[in-house]
Amino acid sequence: MADFVNHILTLEDSWIGYIVAALVAAVLILHVVAVGALLFIWMERKISGRIQDRLGPTRVGGKFGWLQTLADGIKLIAKEDVTPDLADKFLFKIAPYVGLAASYAAFIALPFADGVVGQHVNTAVFFVLAVLGLEVFSVILAGYSSGSKWSLFGAMREAAQVVSYEVPLGMCVVVPVMICGTMNLTTIANMQAGFFTNWLVFNDPFTFLTAIVYFTCATAGVNRAPFDLAEAESELVAGFHTEYSGLRWSLFFMAEYSSMFIVAALASILFFGGSHGPIPIADVLGLLSLDNLGSSDPAFHVFNEDGGGFFASLNLEIAIARFLGVANLLLKGTIGVTVMMWVRWSFPRLRIDQVMTMCLKYCVPLAAVGFLGATAWQALDLPTGNSLMNSPRYSHHELWTADDSESTVEEASSNEVQTPHEDDTHAAAKAVELKTVPVSVVKGGER
Amino acid sequence: MDLFAVAWPYWHQFFFIIFAATAVGFGFGVLLSKNVVRMAFYLVLSLGSTAGLFFLAGAEFVGAMQLMIYVGGTLVLLIFGVMLTAQKDFINMDTHTQDWILATIVGGSLLMVLLFAAFGAEDWNTPQDLTDAKVEATKEATPLGLALTGIRVDTLGETDDAVQGGKAGYLMPFIIVSVHLLVVLIGAAYMARTKKLSHATDDKSSRAKLMLFKMEHEAELLEEETYVVTHRGQSALNPLDPQDDEN
Amino acid sequence: MASSKIDDPRVIEFDVRTDEMLINMGPQHPSTHGVLRLVLRTDGEVVSDVEPHIGYLHRCAEKIGENLTARQWVPYTDRMDYLAAMNMNLGWSLVIEKMLEYDLPERGRHLRVIISEMGRIASHLVAMGTYGLDLGSFTPFLYGFREREKILNLFEEACGARLTYSYLTPGGATADLPADWTGKCRQFLAEFKEVIPELHTLLTTNSIFVSRTAGIGVMSAKMAIDYGCTGPVLRGSGVYHDLRFHGEERYTEMYDGYVFDVICADPATGKYPESNYEFHGDSLDYPEIPRQAVLGDCWHRFYVRMLEVVQSVRLVEQAIEKYEATSGDWGTPIKLVQKLPVKEAYMETEAPRGQMGFYVVGNGESIPWRVRARSSSFCNLSVTAPLCQGILLADIPAIVGSLDVVMGEIDR
């Protein structure tokens, strides 16, 4: 995107392009975090209201009370920012920012559609999980520094819970990574393009199992009911944020809701086709074909290289397809968040030992079974969702055979504005194959 | 300012300086802070900045690893342990002079070794024109993963069996490390296990023994307790008291 | 409780032990039902000792009763168990009537059954809802309150108040029920019957709820009797005792001609007696007992309340018919300055939370010489300390919530 900005500003490889690109990406992601939190809190109140046979907010902002969260936010900003006497003041003040920064940073590598991503990270799956795991620091620091025993209890629970649930979560995430042979979220999503039978959740029974285990562990990982032990109000008053007030308190909530969205979006990318809908509308309408998938640059394909101005170079078809993709992913993520809300308002809370039992006795073994089963399914070449429906799967092509890696080195040293996935050397490899399994490719490499 | 002038046009240098300064700065924070939990927090920031350096160098996998294992795993446990065990005496640590001297000797010699090794590398000695340098991200972590399972994709083209055998991947070290970790985990589970009373009965002051005793004799204790019915207390005004009627 | 096996899960010793922490749970805490204060001694999440402290809601109600006439004190009984104010009124009314040897007309008797059983339904709905809240489930609370609102609307029509009614007074009630009241009540019961299975789905049979409550806070029948527990807490331990059956004649004759069950499991089989009440056409009023549940645990205490609600519905249905069949006087309230004879009277009634007793001593004047209340919640609360040893922190709301205490009644 930086190159594109430089291109339309007719600058040559200038740092201005980088700044503009970074600012645009940062502001867009910030909007997903902030506006998303506003929307999700409003949704939570409406959904809980409907579940509990009441209306929820109705007045602020006209119909449906859709500005209720904004009004609450203004109220929270106006509130006094209290720091307890016994608190470790520095850590107490900085803790909410740590949490928000962590969940905000995880958005950097989240592809909203093919190519619509803050920063193209090859190991995006890993990156998102790692950064999201940092959110636990805010809870631990908040709990410790509050100088309250209830907060400390909340922090202890959170630490134990999050560290435990990262194990099955990681194991579940490995399954799509293994099937797709990449940690690149964009590629994983693109491999599920086409009809919904291509979605990894329908790949085989074990991926279905893994998707369910993933969602359970993700719910636990972001501290949502019935695993919301760190803020169990009936036991720990309010857990780690007992002593917080005003804006700092609301930062915790922003972090929580954006983390919810991240894990839901990650679930939709890993298992539910990401930015690709159940029916490939964009493909049918001719807006998008499998051939122009796989860019790491948001501007790539959307703007022609040789165009003059902004609109002249705009490739409208692909722009619309990308837009549909973003809408698709946001919708899927929102559905995931809604399910979490639904669960929250239906179930009682588990006890800490039950949460741990659930993790170690059920989730870890189930994730292991899912992983082994999915591996065996691939290795034995059993029929998968897409092969049964005979719908081909977009196959990415990585450069890990000896010949290819040489060409990559050359390409990397050249100054072309191209990303690894679009170069011509791989056009042939981009031909649609039925299935891409790492093992088979390795065999192919031996020739 | 020269530094600024150098850093400004080149993004990677600019970010390198930011990350390096943060890492070093919070490293000093760890060294100079007296509060244990703050030390741990500074260590988080320092190691996080190191991860940033990895990302900057295009080593995304290592960077994410750094975040996940050091920052997300080890340090969470470190803070967890500090939080639970540190009492008032240990929350604020005073370092003695002899500790400073010892630490300076050990740390200084380690630093010397590192500097020596670093400047011994040829690339560091050779001046390079960095204006055209462009850091490209490595392709994927897949070759690395396959190498860990024993398949070196970068040597697939190697025809010489002897050379091929020499580059056999990292399966063995990987397995050794995994087994080692498993042993550590089992050991930790053994240490932290809850112990049944039968192991603890020798301990006279054992709380469990006390609990067992209370539970054993609970029935008897309850039976022995006589339900003391306190008398209502004779008041001069009690209308029901026969003595009161006389009044 | 008396069993002491070496593999008792409560007997655990940790190799890695952290320091014990002393924590104040309450008096300002979301799950202590008002102003109960529990001092917990915990080792990590394991609670080794619990000490309840009471008295934060003490309002000298009994002493005030010794400065007011019998009818003037009725509003103060409202404020004891504010969630079942009608039953408090009833207890006080009965004890004064016993003292005055006053006999209630037939219509007033049925009116009292309707009102007190409706009060029981309302109270158990709150108990159910707040118990869900204690376990982290918010929705049953509002489901319970929605139904309770309807009962409160009916009560409001009858007496004008929604929380502190002062409706049943010594001598009868302040007014007869309004003209179309019974029809509305019938309609409410019909609607309410549809809701009960929903409540069972939300909590009673929910697997998380079962795992949080079944086998937790197990209280043997002997222990329940020893500590003086009454009401659903006692019957949850399998003790067949309900003052509506086993109480004083003056109280039980109120229920003459009524058919209902005492909800209590048979200790031998652990099963609840089959209901002969045709509810809904199937056995939805008796969901299956989960495998993990032990007689006397939190789940059974909760379950007894849920089933008692059904029996109360059954009683109200009968009472409405009987009430409509009678006419005439519903019982005139006694005079405001009615003189009390020189004697004492004590009487216990089956309030929703247990046996609520009132003791009154008259000295020939209209103001009683002595007024005392025997609180059901107070005795029920006394089992907290023995039940809460060696459990996890999260079990404390589960146990205290299952006892369903109302602090207004304890502190008076």
Whether residue A308 is contained in a domain is answered as yes
Q: Cβ contacts of residue C281 below 8 Å, gap of 6+? A: none
Percent of chain C with pLDDT over 90: 8
Predicted pLDDT of residue C150:
92
Contacts of C218 (CB under 8 A, 6+ apart): C1, C294, C296, C297
Q: Name the residue with higher pLDDT: A306 or C216.
A: C216
Contact A18 B11 (CB under 8 A): yes
Pairing of strands C172-173, C168-169: antiparallel
Determine the angle formed by the axes of helices C298-325 and C181-199, rounding to 10 degrees: 160
Is the predicted pLDDT of residue B197 greater than 60, yes or no? no
Chain A CB contacts of C23 under 8 Å are: 149-150
Average pLDDT over residues C140-154: 90
Binary contact (B197, C369; C-beta < 8 A): no
How far apart are the CA of C8 and the nearest CA of chain B, in angstroms? Answer: 9
Contacting partners of chain A (3+ CB pairs under 8 A) = B, C
Question: CB contacts < 8 Å between A and C, how many?
Answer: 82
A123/B80 touch (CB, cutoff 8 Å), yes or no: no
Given pLDDT bands bounded at 50, 70 and 90, which one contains residue B131?
Answer: low
In a domain, A187, yes or no: yes
On the question of pLDDT at B21 being above 90, the answer is yes
Residue A22 inside a domain? The answer is: no
Nearest CA in chain C to A347: C137
% of chain A at pLDDT higher than 90: 4
Taking only the tens place, the pLDDT of each residue in A19-62 is: 777 788 788 888 888 888 888 888 888 888 888 888 888 888 77
Is the alpha carbon torsion for C372, C374, C377, C380 positive or negative? positive
**Nearest in space to C296 (alpha carbons), one of C361, C368, C229, C375:** C229
Task: Taking residues A169-188, report their average pLDDT.
Answer: 84
The neighbouring-strand residues paired with C358 are: C347, C373
Q: Which residues of C are less than 8 Å from B216 in CB distance?
A: 4
Residue whose C-alpha is closest to residue A200's, from A222, A235, A174: A174
* Alpha-carbon separation of residue C351 from B214, C315, C375, C409 (angstroms): 34, 15, 10, 11
Q: Residue A346's closest CA among C29, C397, C143?
A: C143
What's the mean pLDDT when you consider all of chain C?
A: 84
- Its pTM stands at 0.78
Contact yes or no for A127 and B141 at CB 8 A: no
Establish if A217 belongs to a structural domain: yes
Q: What is the per-residue pLDDT for C279? A: 58
> Is CATH 1.10.645.10 what the domain over C61-411 is classified as, yes or no?
yes
Residue C70, pLDDT > 60, answer: yes
For residue B173, is pLDDT > 90?
Answer: no
Domain residues for the domain of A378 are 75-395+432-445
CA closest to C138 among chain A residues: A345
Question: What pLDDT is attached to residue B24?
Answer: 92
Which pLDDT does position B110 carry in this prediction?
Answer: 92
For the cut 80, the answer to whether the pLDDT of residue C229 exceeds it is yes
Residue A411 resides in a domain? no
From the centroid of its chain, how far is CA A181? 19
Residues B44 and B20: beta-carbon distance below 8 Å: no
Q: Is the pLDDT of residue B5 over 80?
A: no
> Could you tell me whether strands C172-173 and C46-53 are parallel, antiparallel, or unpaired per DSSP bridges?
unpaired
Mark residue C160 as left, alpha or beta (left: phi above 0; alpha: psi -120 to 50; beta: remaining): left
- Which neighbouring-strand residues pair with C347? C358
Higher pLDDT, A314 or A410: A314
Q: Which of C19, C223, C363 is the closest to B239 by Cβ? A: C363
With left for phi above 0 and alpha for psi between -120 and 50, is residue A53 left, alpha or beta? left
pLDDT for B247 beyond 50:
no
CB pairs under 8 A between B and C: 70
- In tens, the pLDDT along C88-106 reads 999 999 999 888 888 888 8
What's the pLDDT band for A1 if we cut at 50, 70, 90? Answer: low
Q: CB-based contact (8 Å) between A58 and chain B?
A: no
Report yes or no on A390 lying in a domain. yes
- Residues in chain B, total: 247
Domains of chain B: 2-138 (1.20.120.1200)
3-state helix/strand/coil string of C305-339? HHHHHHHHHHHHHHHHHHHHHCCCCCCCCCCCCCC
Check residues A190 and B168 and name the one with the higher pLDDT.
A190
Q: How far apart are CA C94 and CA C247, in angstroms?
A: 12
Q: Report the alpha-carbon distance of residue C309 to residue C125 in Å, rounded.
A: 8
Report the number of distinct structural domains present in chain A: 1
- Among partner residues B72, B80, B158, which is closest to A130 by beta-carbon distance? B72
B200 to C389: CB separation less than 8 angstroms, yes or no: no
pLDDT tens for C299-324 read: 889 988 988 888 888 889 889 988 88
Is A409 domain-assigned?
no
- Tell me whether residue A407 is in a domain: no
pLDDT digits (tens, 9 = 90+) for B59-72: 777 888 888 888 77
pLDDT in tens, C212-227: 888 888 888 888 888 8
Identify the residue with better confidence: B127 or A379. Answer: A379
Considering only residues A336 and A157, tell me which one the structure prediction assigns the higher pLDDT.
A336
- Which residue in chain B has the smallest CA separation from C9? B196
* pLDDT tens-digit map of A270-305: 888 878 777 777 666 666 655 556 554 555 555 555
Highest mean pLDDT of the ranges A79-88, A177-186, C108-117: C108-117
Question: B196 and chain C: CB distance < 8 Å anywhere?
Answer: yes
Question: Residues of B near A (CB-CB distance < 8 A)?
Answer: 8-9, 11, 35, 37-38, 41, 44, 48, 60-61, 63-65, 67-68, 71-73, 75-77, 79-80, 83-84, 132, 134, 136-143, 146, 151, 153-158
pLDDT at residue number B109? 93
B172 pLDDT band, cuts 50/70/90, is confident
Higher pLDDT, B118 or A215: A215
pLDDT class for A320, splitting at 50, 70, 90? confident
Task: Give the tokens for residue C186.
Answer: 């019938």
The H or E element that residue A277 is part of is none
**A215-273 pLDDT per residue, tens:** 999 998 888 878 887 776 667 777 788 888 888 888 888 888 888 899 999 999 888 88
Please check whether residue B57 is in contact with residue B66, taking contact to mean a CB–CB distance below 8 angstroms.
no
Q: What is the pLDDT of residue A214?
A: 92
What are the tens digits of pLDDT across the range B85-112?
655 555 666 677 888 888 889 989 999 9
- Tens digits of residue pLDDT in A132-173: 888 888 888 888 888 788 888 888 888 788 878 888 888 898
Q: What average pLDDT does this structure show over C241-270?
A: 83
Q: Could you tell me the sign of the dihedral formed by the alpha carbons of B108, B112, B115, B117, in that order? A: negative
Which of residues A87 and C117 earns the better pLDDT score? C117
- Using a CB–CB cutoff of 8 Å, tell me whether A43 touches chain B: no
Candidate from A236-245, A279-288, A325-334, A343-352 with smallest mean pLDDT = A279-288
**A8 falls in which pLDDT band (50, 70, 90)?**
low
**Given an 8 Å threshold on Cβ–Cβ distance, is B208 in contact with C11?**
yes
Separation of first and last alpha carbons in chain C: 31
Nearest residue of chain C to residue A238 (CA atoms): C30
CA distances from A177 to A200, B32, B152 (A): 10, 43, 19
**Which range has the worst mean pLDDT, A223-237, A320-334, C106-120?**
A223-237
- Establish, for the pair of chains A and B, how many residue pairs have beta carbons separated by less than 8 Å: 134
Angle between helices A149-180 and A246-270 (to 10 degrees): 20
**Ranges A25-29, B101-105, C30-34, C342-346: which has the least confidence:** C30-34
